[in-house]
Every structure is written in structure tokens, then in C-alpha cells.
């Protein structure tokens, strides 16, 4: 398993030099400055590769750009509206440019309107550090009383609506404003201060799009893009919905193993793969992560290893981002399945046997608390997560291959 780390580019507070010290082996990055729907120019791709290859003082970092996360799919493609056909042409062109530069793995998602959603970006945990949290009651409060989405209360259990009402009544306008800002943080363009009317406008666009329709739009996208990916040697991998249950009345199609099964079957190619994100999928009690790794392993091109602690046994409920070995997903079992999958690929003589993973998010601990990086992406919290995951991998590989063979790898 290849140890990778997300880098948001030269503006990221956590730089290439930090990654070298964290023992990272490869970089996950994206050209965030290029507008969704436009072609990623070859020069920009090569420039980013150059930035990754060297440390601040010009010495080689030894790192390469292993995974693109994300090459975003436009809202037009998801809705099949406006310029969606042009955007698909551009998407294929970007893939060709990435392949020219030698990049083989491309992560993306197909969540309408939202990327990830939390209600608290700095929830204090018992040890004094902070992490991101999703509080179902706060989310209902936002949906029903702040966004005032029509019929929103029908989407929540009665006791949740009642608790949300009580909280709302005791809330100051500043508290409500802070909650709204946290919730919309993961929305595209949110950094430029999205208003509630903007959110309502985005949501209304999906009024006429059912779950089946969205799934068909996804399959149409894949039917165009996957043959190209296959031809040029790119492995596409779709990130799951985060959290993996219905939100804001939007259709959601990548929340469970059954959802993945439908998509993988509809466009049955090794280039049509998945990003198994244990933090996203693990927020739902009926997602069996080690089992998914075992059953879908062949198509897992990228792993996000992160843990969540669920605070409820319902499908939709509150959770927070726990320490990597501290949440409800059995990380040792999951990594063991990933290592077995790698062993199967190696035995079959596959070149792509190695599965890249990243520690995904981390908690804010120690100096992270005063040196605020992008929410979820602190240096020390992620380094701690990576080190713990690396420890498990090393111990399991040792056991799996026997000491002598392990030492020869
Ligand atoms: C990431 C996602 O920060 C995160 O939670 O896992 O934002 C991810 O990059 C996208 O959903 C992938 O398209
Ligand atoms: Mn993830």
C-alpha cells in the first residue's frame, strides 16, 4: 500500500518539505484554480508535477503526483443541463493530458451540490484536540429553521425535529450564523460566502431529478469517459457520498455497497473503479468496510483511511471524526483485506498491484490547534494517523509474507 498525502498546492500551509518528514511516498493533488468544466492544460499539469518534485531549497523531494483528487464533475454533467456535453468533452481531454504526464489514478465524486457536509469544523474531543463533527439535530435545525426548506421537517424523525426546535429557540443569531457557515463549507464556491438564497437555488435545480435519473446521468457520464480512460491507461475512482445518507432532499447514489455494485456493473471495465473512503462510508452502520474491500477489491483504485465514531445506530445520525484507530471501523481488518487484494494482484502479475491510500482527514492536535490548515487537513493530526496506519500495515505485511520475504520487499 502506497502512503500518500493530499496537497492543495503551493498555497497549502502543509508543504512538500513537511510531507518528506512525514515519510510520505506519493502526493494526491488537484488543479483547484482551474474552473470546473474547463480542460486542464498540459503545462499546468507539468508545473504541478515540478512543484511536487522539489523541496523548498531545491533538493529533490523524491515525490511524484500519484493520484488526482479531484478532477471535478460539473453540476451541468450531473444534471445533464446547459453545457454538459462540452464539459464531458473537456473531461476526456483533461484525462488525455493527465495520461500524457504519466498520471494513472483519478478520483472524483458524483454528489449533487454538496461535497462533504459537517455541522462543526472544530469539535472539542476529550483529549483537548478538535475534529470535524456532524450533529444530526444541528443539521435538522439548519435545514428546517435556517434554510427553511419546504417540508424539510418531513425528512427527520419527530424527536429530532423537536430537539432541533428547542435548540433553535435557545440560539443567538451569531450561533445560527456560525452553524450555517459550517454546514455550507463543503459546498462548491462556499469560500466566497454562499448565501442561503444561493443554496436554495442550487437545491431547486434538483427538484425534478430523481435518484434513478441521477444514477442514469452518472452512467451516461461513465459510458463516455470510461472507454477513453481504459484506452489511455487511467483508473477512475469514485468517492462515496459524505455522509452516506440523504441530505437536503437531494438524490444520493453512492452511499452503500449496493450503490457501488450498480455503477460498477453498468459500465463494466477495470477503469471504472472506486475510492473506498472508510470515513465517509463508515458513518453508516450497515456499511461493512472490510467486507466491501474484500468483495469490491479488484476495483478499489484508491483508499481513504479515516475513522468515525457513530453516535447513533440509525442509518442517518450524528458522528465525529475519531482517531484513525479509535472509531467504529475495524481498521486492522480493513488493511488486512487491502493487503490480501494486493497479494492477489501481484500473483496475477498486475503492474497496478499497489493501492495508494491516504490518512484522509486528521484531528487537530498540538500545534495544529494554533496553525489552522484547511479543515480536516492538519499536519500533525494526519501525520499521527499515517504513522498508526503504517504501523498496522508493516506488522500485517510482516505476518503475511514471513520475515525473510518481507525483508526482501
Ligand atoms: C475528501 C473529499 O476532504 C474530503 O473529505 O475526501 O472532499 C474528496 O476529495 C472528494 O469528495 C472527491 O471528489
Ligand atoms: Mn474521503
Q: Which ligand is nearest to the CA of 280?
A: 2
Q: Report the nearest atom of ligand 1 relative to the CA of 70.
A: 13
pLDDT of residue 194: 79
CATH number at residue 313: 3.20.20.150
d(CA 12, CA 7): 7
Catalytic residue, from 277, 309, 324, 364: name it. 277
377 catalytically annotated: yes
Q: Which atom of ligand 1 is nearest to the CA of 377?
A: 3
366 within domain boundaries: yes
Q: What is the mean pLDDT of residues 154-178?
A: 97
> What is the signed CA dihedral for 198, 73, 121, 117, rounded to 10 degrees?
70
Q: How far is the CA of 47 from the centre of ligand 1 (A)?
A: 23
* 131 lies in some domain: no
Q: Is a pLDDT exceeding 80 seen at residue 408?
A: no
Place of cell 489511455: 232
Cell numbers at 111, concatenated: 454528489
Report CA(267)–ligand 1 centroid distance (Å): 23
Q: 356-393, pLDDT tens digit by residue?
A: 999 999 999 999 999 988 899 999 999 999 999 999 99
Q: Which pLDDT score, from 0 to 100, does residue 377 have?
A: 96
Q: What is the pLDDT of residue 245?
A: 97
What is the domain extent for residue 379? 2-115+207-408
Element (H, E) at 394: helix 379-401
Asked whether residue 195 is domain-assigned, the answer is: no
- What confidence tens digit (pLDDT) does each residue in 183-227 have? 988 776 666 677 899 999 999 999 999 999 999 999 999 999 999
- For residue 389, how far is its CA from the centre of ligand 1 (angstroms)? 19
Number of C-beta neighbours around residue 20 at 10 A: 15
Around ligand 1, the residues with Cβ closer than 6 Å are 69-70, 107-109, 115-116, 239, 242, 277, 304, 360, 376
- pLDDT for residue 401: 64
239 is catalytic: yes
Evaluate whether residue 83 is within a structural domain. yes
Q: Are 32 and 56 in contact (CB under 8 A)?
A: no
Joined grid coordinates for residue 5: 498525502
User: Three cell numbers at 197?
Assistant: 438564497
Ligand 1 atom 4, closest CA: 116
Q: Please say if 206 is a catalytic residue.
A: no
Nearest ligand atom owner, CA of 29: 1
Domains identified in the chain, total number: 1
What is the share, in percent, of the chain residues with pLDDT greater than 90?
A: 91
What distance in Å separates the CA atoms of residue 297 and residue 224, rounded to the nearest whole number? 24
**Mean model confidence pLDDT for the chain:** 95
Residue 389: which of 354, 347, 320, 338 has the closest Cα?
338
Torsion, Cα 179 181 183 188, to 10 degrees, reads 180
Q: Is 94 helix (H, G, I), strand (E, B) or coil?
A: helix
- The grid cell for 256 is 452503500
Q: What mean pLDDT comes out for the span 1-11?
A: 96
**pLDDT grade, residue 406 (50/70/90)?**
low
What does pTM read for this prediction?
0.96
Q: Which of 25, 24, 120, 40 minimizes the C-alpha distance to 72?
A: 40
Q: What pLDDT sits at residue 398?
A: 83
Span 266-308, pLDDT tens digits = 999 999 999 999 999 999 999 999 999 999 999 999 999 999 9
pLDDT at 187: 74
**Separation between Cα atoms, residue 134 and residue 362, nearest integer Å:** 15
**ipTM entry:** 0.95
Burial environment of residue 364 by CB neighbours within 10 A (0 to 12, 13 to 18, 19 or more)? buried
Catalytic-role residue among 239, 301, 309, 324: 239
Q: Which ligand is nearest to the CA of 70?
A: 1
Eight-class DSSP state of 298: G
DSSP 187: S
Catalytic choice (304, 320, 364, 368): 304
Q: Percent of the chain scored above 70 by pLDDT?
A: 97
Sign of CA dihedral 312, 374, 338, 404: negative
pLDDT at 403 over 60: no
What's the CA-to-centroid distance between 109 and ligand 1, angstroms? 8
Name the grid cell of 394: 508493516
Nearest-atom index, ligand 1, CA of 376: 3
Span 170-187, pLDDT tens digits: 999 999 999 999 998 877
Question: What is the rounded CA–CA span in Å between residue 294 and residue 276?
Answer: 11
Q: What is the Å distance from ligand 2's center to 306 Cα? A: 8
**pLDDT tens, 86-107?**
999 999 999 999 999 999 999 9
Nearest to 342 by CA among 261, 256, 400: 400
CA distances from 347 to 67, 180, 351, 406 (A): 24, 51, 11, 15
Q: Which atom of ligand 1 is nearest to the CA of 115?
A: 11
- Whether 301 sits among the annotated catalytic residues: the reply is no
For 117-133, give one letter per residue: b (16+ CB within 10 A) or e: bbbbbebebeeebbbbb
Exposure letters 303-341 (e unless 16+ CB within 10 A, then b): bbbbbbbbeeeebbbbbbbbbbeebbbbbeebbbbbbeb
Residue 147, in any domain of the structure:
no
Domain-embedded: residue 198: no
How far apart are alpha carbons 63 and 45 in whole angstroms?
15
Counting from 1 in the atom list of ligand 1, the atom nearest the Cα of 111 is 11
Residue 271 CA to residue 79 CA, distance in Å, equals 23
Give domain status of residue 140, yes or no.
no
Query: Known catalytic residue: 360?
Result: yes
Judge whether 48 lies within some domain.
Answer: yes
304 is catalytic: yes
Amino acid at each position: 500500500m502506497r502512503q500518500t498525502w493530499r496537497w492543495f498546492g503551493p498555497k497549502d500551509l502543509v508543504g512538500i518539505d513537511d510531507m518528506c518528514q512525514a515519510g510520505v511516498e506519493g502526493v494526491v493533488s488537484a488543479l483547484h484554480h482551474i474552473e470546473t468544466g474547463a480542460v486542464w492544460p498540459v503545462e499546468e499539469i507539468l508545473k504541478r508535477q515540478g512543484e511536487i518534485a522539489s523541496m523548498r531549497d531545491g533538493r529533490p523531494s523524491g515525490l511524484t503526483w500519484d493520484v488526482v483528487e479531484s478532477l471535478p464533475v460539473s453540476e451541468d454533467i450531473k444534471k445533464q443541463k446547459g453545457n454538459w456535453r462540452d464539459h464531458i468533452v473537456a473531461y476526456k481531454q483533461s484525462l488525455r493530458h493527465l495520461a500524457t504526464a504519466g498520471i494513472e489514478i483519478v478520483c472524483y465524486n458524483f454528489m449533487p451540490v454538496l461535497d462533504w457536509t459537517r455541522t462543526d469544523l472544530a469539535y472539542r474531543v476529550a483529549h483537548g484536540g478538535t475534529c470535524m463533527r456532524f450533529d444530526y439535530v444541528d443539521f435538522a435545525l439548519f435545514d428546517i429553521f435556517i434554510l427553511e426548506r419546504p417540508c424539510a421537517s418531513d425528512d427527520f424523525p419527530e424527536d429530532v425535529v423537536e430537539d432541533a426546535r428547542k435548540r433553535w429557540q435557545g440560539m443567538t443569531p451569531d450561533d445560527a450564523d456560525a452553524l450555517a457557515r459550517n454546514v455550507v463549507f463543503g459546498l462548491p464556491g462556499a469560500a466566497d460566502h454562499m448565501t442561503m438564497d444561493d443554496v436554495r437555488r442550487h437545491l431547486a435545480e434538483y427538484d425534478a431529478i430523481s435518484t434513478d435519473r441521477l444514477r442514469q446521468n452518472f452512467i451516461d457520464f461513465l459510458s463516455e469517459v470510461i472507454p477513453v480512460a481504459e484506452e489511455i491507461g487511467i483508473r477512475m475512482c469514485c468517492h462515496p457520498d459524505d455522509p452516506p445518507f440523504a441530505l437536503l432532499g437531494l438524490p444520493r447514489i453512492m452511499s452503500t455497497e449496493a450503490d457501488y455494485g450498480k455503477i460498477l456493473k453498468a459500465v463494466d471495465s477495470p477503469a471504472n473503479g472506486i475510492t473506498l473512503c472508510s470515513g465517509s462510508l463508515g458513518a453508516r452502520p450497515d456499511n461493512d468496510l472490510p467486507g466491501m474491500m474484500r468483495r469490491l477489491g479488484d476495483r478499489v483504485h484508491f483508499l481513504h483511511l479515516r475513522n468515525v465514531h457513530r453516535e447513533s445506530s440509525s442509518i442517518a445520525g450524528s458522528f465525529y471524526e475519531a482517531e484513525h484507530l479509535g472509531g467504529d471501523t475495524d481498521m486492522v481488518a480493513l488493511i488486512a483485506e487491502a493487503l490480501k487484494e494486493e497479494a492477489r494482484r501481484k500473483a496475477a502479475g498486475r503492474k497496478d498491484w499497489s493501492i495508494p491510500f491516504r490518512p484522509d482527514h486528521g484531528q487537530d492536535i498540538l500545534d495544529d490547534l494554533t496553525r489552522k490548515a484547511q479543515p480536516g487537513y492538519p499536519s500533525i493530526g494526519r501525520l499521527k494517523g499515517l504513522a498508526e496506519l503504517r504501523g498496522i500495515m508493516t506488522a500485517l505485511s510482516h505476518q503475511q509474507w514471513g520475515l525473510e520475504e518481507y525483508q526482501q520487499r
